[in-house]
């Protein structure tokens, strides 16, 4: 059996292909959200966290011989895989960020980060897939990540994130329905509603897009 030293998004997607599974069924097999699987397709060079590496190891080691054979054939085509990865990596990565208001509260998620603190509070966000409208991605990713249904009220502009350099598109959204729950336990630690006036206690002011700060003050 071929041994995978370090799983990347690209290798995880090849395992998914070898299993002949769609995103939803592969995510269910791993016990994660389909949003995480979609991220691997959008960013093939990403390295999943340690716990995710173990989950992928378990699925691969427990796969039947025909699946492992298909996976070996895919990884053996190194040149073709490199071309595919380069093509995906060359696409501009865009992320939709939802600022969801419910009365005097705003929705936040606590993410697992790789920095020294290990955790950071952020607004719900997700990768915008090619061909998908940013507003549609905003609504869908918020639901997948938090269980909250929302509607886009207006655009709050866009920018290159000052820390990650990712192209971010911001949308002010209205809460419609649903209980705030952590639907992506691999990526997030918690999901909660926070008073608008208290947002800067969770996210440093200098990291918040200026139109968001204006919207928080305007609707306070």
Closest Cα partner for 5 from 60, 43, 42, 44? 60
Share of the chain above pLDDT 90, in %: 45
Looking at the predicted structure, is the pLDDT value of residue 71 above 90? no
The reply to whether 185 falls in a domain is yes
Higher pLDDT, 82 or 123: 123
Residues 160, 60 share a domain: no
CATH number where 195 lies: 3.90.79.10
pLDDT at res. 77: 64
Q: How many CB atoms lie within 10 A of CB 160?
A: 10
Looking at the structure of the chain, the number of domains it has is 2
Residues 182, 105 share a domain: yes
Residues 82, 151 share a domain: no
pLDDT band at 81 (very low <50, low <70, confident <90, very high): very low
The reply to whether 127 falls in a domain is yes
Domain range for residue 22? Answer: 9-90
Of the ranges 3-7, 70-74, 93-97, 215-219, which is most confident?
93-97
* Helix (H/G/I), strand (E/B), else coil: 18: helix
Three-state secondary structure string covering 147-180: CCEEEEEEEEEEEECCCCCCEEEEEEEEEEECCC
Residues 156, 76 share a domain: no
How far is CA 45 from each of CA 24, 32, 130, rounded to the nearest angstrom?
A: 21, 19, 17
DSSP state at residue 130: T
Residues 85, 109 share a domain: no
Of the ranges 131-135, 163-167, 171-175, 214-218, which is most confident?
171-175
The reply to whether 75 falls in a domain is yes
Residues 202, 99 share a domain: yes
pLDDT, average across residues 117-141: 87
Which tokens go with 101? 């208001």
Gap between the Cα atoms of 27 and 24, Å rounded: 5
The reply to whether 1 falls in a domain is no
């Amino acid at each position: 059996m071929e041994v995978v030293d370090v799983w990347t998004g690209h290798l995880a997607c090849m395992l998914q292909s070898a299993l002949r599974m769609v995103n939803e069924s592969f995510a269910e097999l791993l016990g994660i959200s389909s949003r995480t699987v979609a991220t691997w397709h959008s960013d093939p060079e990403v390295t999943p966290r340690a716990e995710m590496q173990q989950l992928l190891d378990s699925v691969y080691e427990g796969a039947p011989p025909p699946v492992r054979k298909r996976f070996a054939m895919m990884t053996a085509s190194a040149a073709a895989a490199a071309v595919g990865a380069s093509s995906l990596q060359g696409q501009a990565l865009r992320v939709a960020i939802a600022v969801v208001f419910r009365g005097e509260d705003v929705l936040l998620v606590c993410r697992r980060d790789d920095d020294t603190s290990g955790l950071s509070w952020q607004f719900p966000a997700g990768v915008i897939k090619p061909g998908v409208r940013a507003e549609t991605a905003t609504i869908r990713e918020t639901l997948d990540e938090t269980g909250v249904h929302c509607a886009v009220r207006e655009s709050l502009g866009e920018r290159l994130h000052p820390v990650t350099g990712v192209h971010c598109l911001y949308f002010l959204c209205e809460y419609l329905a649903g209980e705030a729950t952590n639907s992506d336990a691999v990526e997030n630690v918690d999901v909660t509603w926070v008073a608008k006036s208290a947002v800067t206690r969770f996210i440093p002011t200098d990291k918040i897009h200026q139109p968001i700060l204006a919207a928080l003050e305007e609707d306070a």
